[in-house]
Amino acid sequence: MDDESCEPFDLAGNSTGVLLLHGFTSTPQSVRHVGHELHTRTGLTVMAPLLAGHGTSPEDLARTGHCDWIASAEAALHALRQRTSRVIIAGLSLGGTIALNLAVRHPQHVDAIATINGSTGLYRPDQARAVFDAPPDGYCAGIGSDIRHSERREISYDKIPTSTLHERFLLTTATGLMLPLLRQPLLVLQSRIDNVVEPANAHRIVQECGSTEIRLRWLENSFHVATLDHDRDLIVEELERFSVACP
């Protein structure tokens, strides 16, 4: 396994599929270790697509929006569902947001959801202000590689098209408002210290979703990109446990 590869991956396994989604401005590199370890330990079928506009250049990202990112995930979901009888969607950051979105909108195809530092539209005041203050055709500093581990890095864009901040804000906020419609079993993994997504998002997901089967696990030794951080194998263990517990 090449931990530095940004390419999507598809690991064939048993009849339970896991759709593993990376975050905003990132690539499948950020979830590669978790996906491969989960597959090795459990034999689950694991697919990690590349979201539209990602893995190439910030200029390519500027030509996309939330509909394109969701469409990438939906295409992977439908492809995975054709090969498996049960599907769990797990996502990091914006990937967690998209996991929640797809679970609400495609309940017949999604059996369970896991979010890892997922956003539901709760932002710090400075983050919200940036949506209005940033020039729509410009760029702002990247948000990648928020990792406590000193020797690991996330491959992501070093600058973000400000037009996509509006798209991200719409997607996260709208998905947060849809939480009461979510009914599937849910695993919420959240870093105590997260410099990108407010940890309060975890409380919101737990309190407002309509599911009756919810597990919240705090990650004590990782920052935002927990799938590359000290708790990455703990995440694998939690996902393994979750996949067995879900009906």
Residue at token pair 């530092």:
117
Find the helix or strand (DSSP H, E) in which 207 lies. Answer: helix 200-208
* Rounded Cα distance, 31 and 3, in Å: 9
Residue at token pair 């990376």:
22
* Rounded Cα distance, 154 and 131, in Å: 24
As annotated, the active-site residues are 93, 194, 224
CA dihedral defined by 75, 214, 91, 87, rounded to 10 degrees?
-30
CB 165 within 8 A of CB 140: yes
Tell me the one-letter amino acid at 142.
G
Helix, strand or coil, per DSSP, at residue 92: strand
Closest CA to 141 of 75, 195, 182, 185: 195
In sequence order, what E strands does the chain have?
9-11, 16-21, 45-48, 86-92, 112-116, 139-141, 159-161, 186-191, 214-219
